[in-house]
Amino acid sequence: MKGGVIVSVQEIIKRRRLELNLTLKQVAKALGVSEGTVSRYESGDIQNMGIDKIEALSRVLRCSPGFLMGWEDSANPASDNEEILLSPLERQIIMRFRLLSDGERNMFLRSLGLDDTY
């Protein structure tokens, strides 16, 4: 329930994806499913998502599973701790990035097409 208004899970998923400027294709790729599957999540055609899919979707949409389910009003309740929302691989990448020298970091960022002024 959002501010006294009942909002469906599919509406929450679509709104959050759009808030983050993510395409169906980007979300599908991150989840390892087809664009059609993500579209069916958003349309309500798939209503009984497993907890594993809800958790994965919450990581992609950078929010808590409770927010996606409509149980919480805030996408990240009581915490700005991003680590909670990172997969083990994402945490490992960050840790390894932190071990790089400034030159290596700049080279890595350039390889991703990002600003290399670290």
Structure tokens at 84: 């909670």
The predicted-structure confidence for 75-87, as pLDDT tens digits, reads as follows 765 454 444 566 7
Domain that holds residue 38: 1-79
The predicted-structure confidence for 41-93, as pLDDT tens digits, reads as follows 999 898 788 888 898 899 889 898 989 988 887 776 545 444 456 677 887 88
If asked whether residues 6 and 48 sit together in one domain, one would say yes
If asked whether residues 10 and 56 sit together in one domain, one would say yes
If asked whether residues 96 and 55 sit together in one domain, one would say no
Report the 10 Å Cβ neighbour count for 64: 20
61 phi/psi in degrees, rounded to 5: -90, 10
If asked whether residues 74 and 90 sit together in one domain, one would say no
If asked whether residues 32 and 74 sit together in one domain, one would say yes
If asked whether residues 58 and 107 sit together in one domain, one would say no
C-alpha atoms less than 13 angstroms from C-alpha of 114 in its C-beta half-sphere: 8
- Output the pTM of the full model: 0.60
CA–CA gap between residue 83 and residue 76 (Å, rounded)? 12
Number of domains in the chain: 2
If asked whether residues 12 and 41 sit together in one domain, one would say yes
